[in-house]
Chain A
Amino acid sequence: MMQLFMQGNEAIAEGAIACGARFYAGYPITPSSEIAEVASRRLPQVGGVYLQMEDELASMAAIIGASLSGVKSFTATSGPGFSLMQENLGVAVMEEVPCVVVDVQRSGPSTGLATKPAQADLMQARWGRHGDQAVICLSPATVRECFDLTIEAFNLSERFRVPVILLADEIVAHMRENVELPDPSSIKVVDRKLPTCPPEEYLPFKPDPDGVPPLAYYGSEYIFHATSSMHGERGYSQNDPENAAKKIERLFSKLTRHMDEIVHFKRYYPGDEFDLLIITFGATTRPARAAAQRAKGEGIRAGVLQLITLWPFPEELVEKEARRASSVLVCELNLGQLVHEVKRAAGKDKVFGLHKANGEGFTPKEILSRIKEVAGSAQA
């Protein structure tokens, strides 16, 4: 165990290095820049490469190229840069290239309040690219989670050959906390599945029974062809409808078949019994927990469910947990993105929202005030 007074962004960069990431390409943007700064100092120390590219389109492309060369790769950005990465993020989905994209969310739209927090890239993370595609998206609430979830993001990315988005926010990214980092030997690191067949038989997009094809790397004994256009198992263009449907459906099902491996969450339930369930993600979890504590003093039993995995959406979890409560309150720093997913899973009659999009975080007081309103309407 190592005790450090550390910032969320620093923990993300250190988490990436701790699980073997050795390539970073990015373009500076507030409030993510410290990730690039730490990566630029630390990666060459461990034999890795830091590249500051000419823009975010190039950054996303470069990490895909590096990953296909066999090196765990990542980039970090914020909302406007994340928008520029979307097209090539689609390439990573289509070519099934493991990589991690950190989006430290800030207030928008557009350049908005560039240094202020928000949680309004939730739908951009899910649907930012054109076409039907699935990605994994995780969100940290503490500095220690920044470290742990970066590692988990790489592990899931390698496991499923899918880009993983770490959806942080300005609050957790710039917060400093005293953290205990795990002993490096205790960190679980997952590496991509390599092909084992003879090189002439290798099909880079032929799935194993788990839906995930093994991935060779450029320069190994295996030769392979990757294209962002619709392709068959050999990796060459193939445009028939049957193949297209099979491919696109597999991009979803290779994730949805394994939700037990993908869904992470934390419960903060007082005595395991509650009337009101607060659902949060990211740094909003913190004032929500404080508000739930204070609600006890008001005679309201409130529990907090922190969603760590946001995409694919953990419907079963939300449905099951919501069933135990008489009402559900979704707190998010946007005008209502998560609340619709929760309504879809839990039924819209009992789900309420608390939304804020003025560039400020929640206070426990304003969450408590909404808790009282929601509890009152549930009784009425």
Chain B
Amino acid sequence: MLPHLWCSGCGNGIVLSSLARALAELGLERNQVVVVTGIGCWGKADDYLSTNALHGTHGRALAFATGIKAANPKLCVIVLMGDGDGATIGGNHLIHAARRNIDLLAVVVNNHNYGMTGGQVSATTPAGAVTSTTAYGNPEREFDLCELVMAAGANYVARGTAYHVPQLDRLLREGIEKKGFSFVEVMSPCPTQYGRRNQLGGAVKMMEWLRDHAVPVKSFREKRDDLPPGSFPIGKLHEGDDPDFNTRYRDIQARAQKEGQV
């Protein structure tokens, strides 16, 4: 148990343990791993890891990570962002990193609001939900991040939850191993801010809600219309094999070097 700053009932610690297990099981050397973090509760995760780390500005983690990986293709780059950081302020970088198919793992822990700044609305806050800046209900609609990233061209897209831990371990492992842009969204409870304002019944109840609404993707696709409202698919949602940015760029370098000699 580490001393940490997360609230009781928060899912971040569970995701962090899952990531640490994934790194250990893959046998990666600490000096070959760079963890890049955004701003917010989950953006503090780098403080609890003993790998290389870069903690930058709000929303830009994927842009820092793109430079790290493009400059040194051998590094294992893992980017940890919340939904505010990774999908709201950082939404543009998210779609372009996926389009570019840069070889890294992006983990967005989605707790449906800005936890650290006081529970404000984010791009994944469900329509109608109450936050500290949507007292009358959210007038905007939420992003489905997995669909967004899939459409943008990611090679690996998966969704897990802080409740389904063995599955999460596997998804993070697969995401690290997969060449190209890998995206894992982790649905995670925020009882202190989001849960409290929406009367979701505290940490245990929020975990039970995840248990009851997360549906393995295969059965989700088969039974979609019969599932309770709010149900969502978990597991590996998409896998492709497009060449990643560095592979494509090696070809560019080879062509440039050939033509440059003429």
B-side binding surface: helix, strand, loop or mixed?
helix
A25-B65 Cα distance, complex, nearest whole Å: 13
Do A23 and B31 form a contact, CB below 8 Å, given A62-B64, A65-B36, A236-B47? Answer: no
As a 0/1 sequence over residues 90 to 120 of chain A, the CB contacts with chain B under 8 angstroms (1 = contact) are 1100010000000000000000000000000
Provide the bound-state CA to CA distance between A59 and B51, in Å.
25
Among B60, B67, B256, the residue within 8 A (CB) of A66 is B67
B68 touches which one: A47, A55, A95, A218 (CB < 8 A)? A218
Write out the residue numbers on chain A whose beta carbons fall within 8 Å of the beta carbon of B46: 225, 227
Q: A23-B67, A62-B70 are in contact. Are A91 and B253 (CB under 8 A)?
A: no
Q: Are B70 and A219 in contact (CB under 8 A)?
A: no
Shortest CB distance A182–B (Å): 21
When distances are taken between beta carbons in the complex, the residues of chain B under 8 Å from A225 are: 46, 52-53, 55
A87 at interface by CB-CB < 8 Å: yes
For residue B36, which residues in chain A have a CB less than 8 angstroms away from its CB? 65
Residues of B within 8 A of A88 (CB): 56-57, 60
Is A224's CB under 8 angstroms from B52's CB?
yes
Given contacts A70-B72, A219-B32, contact A58 B63 (CB under 8 A): yes
**What is the distance, in angstroms, from A18's C-beta to the closest C-beta of chain B?**
15
> Which of B71, B74, B256 lies in contact with A73, CB distance below 8 A?
B71
Using Cβ atoms and an 8 Å threshold, which residues of chain B touch A217? 72
With A88-B57, A219-B32, A219-B74: A65-B68 Cβ-Cβ less than 8 Å: yes
- Which residue from chain A places its CB closest to the CB of B245 in the assembled complex? A51
For residue B213, CB closer than 8 A to chain A, the reply is no
- For window 44-78 of chain A, which residues contact chain B by CB distance below 8 Å? 44-45, 47, 49, 51, 53-55, 57-59, 61-71, 73
Q: In the complex, are the beta carbons of B256 and A41 less than 8 A apart?
A: yes
CB nearest neighbor in B for A54:
B96
Contact A44 B253 (CB under 8 A): yes
* CB proximity of B2 to chain A, nearest CB, Å: 13
Residues on the B chain within 8 Å of A95, using CB: 54
- A62 vs B55: C-alpha distance when bound (angstroms): 13
| Distance from B106 Cβ to chain A, minimum over Cβ atoms (Å) | 14
* A87, B57: Cα distance in complex, Å: 8
B50: interface (CB < 8 Å): yes
Number of A positions contacting B (CB below 8 A): 49
Cβ-neighbour of A63 out of B53, B54, B67, B69 (below 8 A): B67
Interface SS of chain A: mixed
Q: How far is the CA of A363 from the CA of B69 in the complex (A)?
A: 48
Interface pair A220/B31, CB less than 8 Å apart: yes
A219→B260 CA distance, assembly (Å): 30
Would A223 and B57 be within 8 Å (CB), given that A41-B256, A53-B63, A69-B68 are in contact? no
A281 vs B54: C-alpha distance when bound (angstroms): 36
Interface residue? A313 (CB, 8 A): no
Tally A-B pairs: CB < 8 A: 138
Q: In the complex, A218 Cα to B63 Cα: how many Å?
A: 16
Residues of A within 8 A of B56 (CB): 61, 64, 88, 91, 228
Q: At the interface, yes or no: B75 with Cβ under 8 Å from chain A?
A: yes
Instruction: Indicate whether B178 reaches chain A with its CB closer than 8 angstroms.
Output: no
Task: Tell me whether B257 and A69 are in contact (CB under 8 A).
Answer: no
Q: Check B57 against A61 for contact (C-beta < 8 Å).
A: yes
B28 within 8 A of A: no
Residue contact B71 to A49, C-beta cutoff 8 Å = yes
Tell me which of A44, A87, A222 contacts B252 (CB under 8 A): A44
Q: Are B72 and A69 interface neighbours, CB within 8 A?
A: yes
Instruction: Judge whether A237 and B47 touch: CB under 8 Å.
Output: yes
CB closest residue in chain B, given A45: B260
Complex contact A66–B55 (CB within 8 A): no
B35 shortest CB reach to chain A, Å: 9
* CB of A183 within 8 Å of the partner chain: no
The digit string for B24-51, where 1 denotes a CB below 8 A from any CB of A, is: 0000001110101000000000110011
**Is A226 an interface residue, CB under 8 A from the partner?**
yes
Least CB distance, B256 to chain A, in whole angstroms: 4
- The reply to whether the CB of B92 lies closer than 8 angstroms to some CB of chain A is yes
Q: Are A51 and B70 in contact (CB under 8 A)?
A: yes
Q: Is the CB of B30 within 8 A of A61?
A: no
B113 contacts across to A, CB distance below 8 A: none
- Residue of A25, A45, A227 near B53 (CB, 8 A) is A227
Task: Tell me the bound Cα distance from A67 to B56 in angstroms.
Answer: 14
Complex: A45 Cα to B255 Cα, angstroms: 8
Complex formed: what's the CA distance from A71 to B69 in Å? 11
| Complex CA distance for A169 and B74, rounded to whole angstroms | 38
Chain A residues lying within 8 Å of B249, measured Cβ to Cβ, are 44, 49
Q: A61-B64, A228-B55 are in contact. List 20 more A-B contacts (CB 8 A).
A: A22-B71, A23-B67, A25-B66, A41-B256, A45-B257, A49-B71, A51-B66, A53-B66, A58-B93, A59-B63, A65-B66, A65-B71, A66-B70, A69-B71, A70-B71, A71-B72, A88-B56, A217-B72, A218-B68, A228-B57
Supply 12 A–B pairs (Cβ within 8 Å), ascending by A. Answer: A44-B256, A45-B260, A47-B253, A57-B60, A64-B54, A67-B67, A71-B72, A91-B57, A218-B34, A218-B68, A218-B72, A219-B31
Chain B residues with CB under 8 Å of chain A are 30-32, 34, 36, 46-47, 50-57, 59-60, 63-72, 74-75, 92-93, 96, 249, 252-253, 255-257, 260
Instruction: Give me the 10 closest cross-chain CB pairs, A-B, nearest first.
Output: A65-B67, A62-B67, A61-B63, A44-B256, A66-B71, A58-B63, A45-B260, A69-B71, A65-B68, A227-B55
